């Protein structure tokens, strides 16, 4: 009796459904030579009506905004000496350090704001990305928080930065749906910082609840999605709606596996559903492509400093290096 009850329950989970319908051998590195891949990708871009750029951390790294190495050890020397320990590996990890006071927290974040948001200016590689897309109807979806897409030429109406901005702050508890420009504050803090701390009078307070403020970066449930965020989300939805009818290239730049649910996986889902779309995936070492996409996808495993330049040269017909 018990055995019958058990065997009578038929599971719907099989290896195929577990793999979301993708064959287990599907995710492959393409064997096509680099030059041929660049030609294929350039052809896709030239023939496209619409370009949807999806950009992750790899693009900013390739553009020069590396989070570790000399940029970290040189700019954050006194922080590394003061706060020793596992957090002080790079700027990303250091952001998670349990700073002992608000003065210490803003000491760090004002420095980060200067190094990653205020001082770099527009980076040449981002300008090239703009030139790849400027002549087509385009939109940018990015998890990057360094504001480069807004500096390099794209109209802010065509950019959706989902994860925040190194130059904006919000209430720690997200008590009201607003974010605040912090650039001037960071510049003043940068002048006044001593021993990695800012003076107490400079510590920002929430204008509504009076509590502490925080960076406007998505790291917990209190992340504030303000009016501009929601407008960008709406415009992105409208663009996607138009893409359904048009020859669309998904140009994925350096979107790895930190938050693959925002760009990488949705792009693959779009590819499976919409046969009018093609995918160009540029990544330093994670350009694996579902083989079932066939000739609709190109995955170029290379330094994007080179591959984006080569792609632009092939598309524009001039020497861009
Ligand atoms: Zn508040």
- Whole-number pLDDT of residue 120: 96
| CA 3 – CA 107 distance, rounded (Å) | 66
- Whole-number pLDDT of residue 13: 76
Do residues 165 and 147 make contact, with C-beta atoms less than 8 angstroms apart?
Answer: yes
Q: Where are the domains of the chain?
A: 26-65+123-163+218-321, 72-119+169-215
3-state class of 119 per DSSP? Answer: coil
Q: Is the per-residue pLDDT at 303 higher than 70?
A: yes
Distance 167 CA to ligand 1 centre (A): 18
- Whole-number pLDDT of residue 167: 98
Rg (CA), the chain: 22
User: What's the CATH class of domain 26-65+123-163+218-321?
Assistant: alpha beta
- Whole-number pLDDT of residue 8: 55
Distance 204 CA to ligand 1 centre (A): 11
| CA 248 – CA 240 distance, rounded (Å) | 10
- pLDDT tens digits for 190-230? 999 999 999 999 999 999 999 999 999 999 999 999 999 99
Residues that place a CB less than 5 A from ion ligand 1: 171, 175, 206, 208-209, 211
Token reading at 108: 């760090």
Mean pLDDT of the chain: 93
- pLDDT tens digits for 236-256? 999 999 998 899 999 999 998
- Whole-number pLDDT of residue 14: 73
Angle (CA) 270 289 235, round 5°: 30
3-state class of 300 per DSSP? Answer: strand
DSSP 136-196: SEEEEEE---S-HHHHTT--GGGEEETTEEEEEEEETT--SS--EE-HHHHHHHHHH-BTT
Token reading at 102: 């608000």
What is the share, in percent, of the chain residues with pLDDT greater than 90? Answer: 84
Distance 214 CA to ligand 1 centre (A): 10
Instruction: Label residue 141 exposed, middle or buried (CB < 10 Å: 0-12, 13-18, 19+).
Output: buried
Mean pLDDT of 105-127: 98
Mean pLDDT of 178-193: 98
182: left (phi over 0), alpha (psi -120 to 50) or beta: alpha
- pLDDT tens digits for 10-47? 667 777 666 665 666 678 888 999 999 999 999 999 99
Mean pLDDT of 80-106: 94
Look up the pTM and report it: 0.91
- Whole-number pLDDT of residue 259: 84
- pLDDT tens digits for 129-163? 999 999 999 999 999 999 999 999 999 999 999 99
DSSP 66-101: -SSHHHHHHHTHHHHHHH-STTTTSHHHHTTS--SS
| CA 50 – CA 245 distance, rounded (Å) | 10
Q: How far does CA 241 lie from the centroid of its chain?
A: 22
Distance 180 CA to ligand 1 centre (A): 12
pLDDT band at 258 (very low <50, low <70, confident <90, very high): confident
Phi, psi of 282 (to 5 degrees): -105, 125
- Whole-number pLDDT of residue 1: 45
Enumerate the β-bridge partners of residue 27: 290
């Amino acid at each position: 009796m018990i055995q019958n009850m058990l065997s009578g329950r038929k599971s719907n989970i099989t290896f195929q459904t577990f793999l979301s319908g993708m064959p287990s051998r599907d995710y492959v590195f393409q064997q096509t030579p680099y030059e041929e891949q660049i030609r294929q990708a350039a052809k896709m871009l030239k023939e496209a009506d619409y370009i949807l750029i999806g950009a992750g951390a790899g693009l900013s790294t390739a553009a020069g905004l590396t989070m570790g190495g000399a940029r970290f050890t040189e700019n954050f020397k006194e922080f590394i000496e003061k706060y020793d320990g596992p957090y002080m590996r790079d700027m990303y990890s250091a952001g998670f350090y349990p700073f002992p006071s608000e003065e210490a927290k803003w000491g760090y974040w004002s420095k980060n704001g200067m190094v990653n948001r205020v001082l770099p200016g527009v980076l040449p590689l981002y300008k090239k990305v703009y030139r790849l897309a400027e002549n087509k109807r385009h939109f940018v979806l990015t998890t990057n928080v360094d504001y480069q897409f807004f500096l390099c030429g794209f109209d802010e109406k065509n950019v959706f930065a989902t994860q925040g901005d190194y130059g904006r702050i919000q209430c720690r508890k997200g008590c009201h749906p607003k974010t605040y420009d912090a650039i001037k504050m960071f510049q003043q803090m940068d002048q006044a910082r001593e021993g990695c701390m800012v003076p107490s009078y400079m510590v920002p307070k929430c204008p509504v609840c009076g509590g502490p403020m925080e960076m406007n970066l998505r790291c917990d449930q209190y992340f504030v999605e303000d009016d501009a965020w929601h407008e960008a989300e709406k415009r992105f939805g409208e663009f996607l709606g138009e893409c359904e009818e048009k020859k669309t290239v998904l140009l994925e730049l350096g979107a790895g596996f930190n938050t693959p649910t925002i760009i990488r996986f949705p792009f693959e889902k779009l590819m499976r559903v919409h046969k009018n779309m093609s995918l160009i995936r540029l990544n330093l070492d994670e350009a694996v492509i579902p083989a079932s996409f066939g000739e609709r996808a190109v995955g170029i495993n290379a330094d994007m400093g080179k591959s984006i330049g080569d792609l632009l040269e092939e598309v524009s017909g001039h020497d861009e290096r």
